[in-house]
Chains A and B, each alone.
Chain A
Amino acid sequence: MRLLPGTTVDSVLFDVEAGKIREFARASQCSDLVHVDAATAADRGFGSVLATATHVVVAGHHRDQTEFVEKLGMDIRRIVVGSTSWDYTRPVRAGDTLTGVRTVVADENRGTMRLVTLETTYVDVAGEVVVRQREVLIEKGQP
């Protein structure tokens, strides 16, 4: 099975909440008060607390991993994430509602491995791109 570039894999819609930002910042061991204190955020020019750099991984709460892997035609027991990148237009902040559409960028074989590159574009309610996350999934060959 090979996926065509541009194929949509899934989409998510979620609100960015101050409480989740605090929870994720603590789990990420971030100490910048801009993630938890509205006054600090205001001092830096923002109307609400800012999410941490990798906050959009909370989309995992809103995705069906089993369905996702089936759609890719991959064996979850042999998948590892090789790399991830994020490109930011602006910081994610409390009060955002983000829609993330994940599409196939590339699907290629390298020796016995299959490499699938996916990109999720997160847009706000105005339709503006906030952040793009790209990930490379590696499916190892059959043992």
Chain B
Amino acid sequence: MTATPPPPRTIGPITQTDIVRFAGAGGDFNPIHHDPAVARAAGFEQPIAMGQFTAALLAGWLTDSYGVEHLRHFEVRFRSPLRIGDVIDLRGSVVSTDDTSVTLELVATRGDQQLVSGRATLSV
């Protein structure tokens, strides 16, 4: 494995179906993710994606290149909700390496706005 980040990935536009598919897979049935009335009552124009969906997209982008079996640590901080219609960009950069591991900083953005930032350490 080389100590280089994967090439950037663009995902979207995100659909309600994408969000519902993830809800069904993961078991998060908070209605704010699928019920427009509940989302409006919470101050959103329409349902928003769960943070774990964005986290899963970011992790998947990373491990599609490196292999999930090399992942030792993955962390995310949720900064802004992912909305229906969003197109997001996943990018990363290597921040450190040693004889046994590589650590990257990761980010999912919508335009200039960060939705999720994160960090991952993989064994080499």
Cross-chain contact B27 with A86 (CB below 8 angstroms): no
Measured CB to CB, the closest approach of chain B to A42, in angstroms, equals 13
| Residue pair A60, B28 in contact (C-beta under 8 Å) | yes
Cβ–Cβ contact B78 & A82, under 8 A: yes
User: In A52-74, which residues have CB < 8 Å from any B CB?
Assistant: 52-54, 57-63, 65
A-B interface contact total, Cβ < 8 Å: 119
> Is B25 a contact partner of A91 (Cβ separation < 8 A)?
no
Number of interface residues of A (CB under 8 A): 41
Main secondary structure on A side of the interface with B: mixed
Q: Which residue of A lies closest to B50 (CB)?
A: A81
A18 within 8 A of B: no
Q: Mark A32-56, 1 if CB is under 8 A from B, else 0.
A: 1011000000001110001111100
A85 within 8 A of B: yes
Q: Is A84 an interface residue (CB 8 A)?
A: yes
Among A45, A54, A65, A83, the one with the most B-chain Cβ atoms within 10 Å of its Cβ is A54
- Taken together as a complex, chains A and B put the C-alpha atoms of A88 and B73 apart, in Å, by 6
Q: Is the CB of B71 within 8 A of A24?
A: no
Closest chain A residue, CB of each to CB of B21? A27
Residues of B within 8 A of A (CB): 11, 18, 21-22, 24-28, 30, 42, 51-53, 55-57, 59-60, 62-64, 67-69, 71-78
Known: A62-B27, A81-B51. 7 other contacts (CB 8 A): A27-B21, A31-B64, A34-B67, A44-B69, A65-B30, A83-B77, A84-B78
Interface residues of A (CB under 8 A from B): 20, 23-32, 34-35, 44-46, 50-54, 57-63, 65, 77, 80-88, 90-91
Return 15 A-B CB contacts under 8 Å, by A number. A27-B21, A28-B25, A32-B64, A45-B69, A53-B62, A53-B74, A57-B28, A57-B56, A60-B26, A63-B27, A83-B75, A84-B51, A86-B73, A88-B73, A88-B74
